Amino acid sequence: MSETQNISMIENIKSIIRDVPDFPKKGIIFKDITPLLASPETFRETIRLIAGKYKGRGITKVLGIEARGFILAAPIAVELGAGLIPVRKKGKLPYKTVSAAYALEYGEDTLQIHEDALKNGEKVLIVDDVLATGGTASAVCRLVEQLGGKVESIAILIELEFLKGRDKLSGYELFSLIKY
Ligand code: AMP
């Protein structure tokens, strides 16, 4: 596809994402990607446009962040010929884990990864649907580094620029397909 076709496809993807006001609580505008996932062409093109950025970069593992990150990370991993690693909320993974705590609006939460998920020096792509404050993605960077992996890049479908999550991730490459 030409660059012009890619730009119009990105506009298409943006237009199909649904804003749900006051979910899960008042004041939050939830970016609902289910209409995008339900559209075969838009879903396929979303994966193609993200994975296309990373071909030939030696990425061997794609990390998906629970839960919507899994949906995007799995086909991206297949496209790149890489393995898929789930990063999950505390208590969900069955084997031995390492953990990273991160701040929420009120209080904190913990993400976990299997302790044998990465080999030393392995190149990792982190994938999630939305970047808001950046707390989640920066906790996942810490998990990768605790296991001796290298964060090659962070790929996000939707970046909420006004929340400045990118500032928490300085020092890492960050690509987002759609920005608000
Ligand atoms: P943060 O740690 O603040 O960057 O939040 C990112 C995580 O929360 C991602 O895993 C998103 O799936 C979710 N998230 C945050 N804000 C939104 C939003 N407005 N719409 C949908 N998901 C969101």
Question: Which residue's alpha carbon is at the smallest distance from atom 18 of ligand 1?
Answer: 30
pLDDT of residue 64: 98
d(CA 20, CA 68): 16
pLDDT of residue 107: 82
pLDDT of residue 105: 72
CB atoms within 10 A of CB 155: 24
> Domain map of the chain by residue range?
3-179
- Mean pLDDT of residues grouped by 10 in the chain (180 residues)? 92 98 94 98 98 98 98 98 98 98 87 98 98 96 98 98 97 98
Selecting from 3.40.50.2300, 3.40.50.1970, 2.40.50.70, 3.40.50.2020, what CATH number does the domain 3-179 have? 3.40.50.2020
What separation in Å is there between the alpha carbon of 138 and the centre of ligand 1? 13
Residue ranges lining ligand 1, Cβ < 6 Å: 28-31, 65, 68, 128-136, 165
pLDDT of residue 38: 98
Peptide bond into 94 cis (omega under 30): no
The secondary structure element, H or E, covering residue 85 is strand 83-89
Q: pTM for this structure? A: 0.97
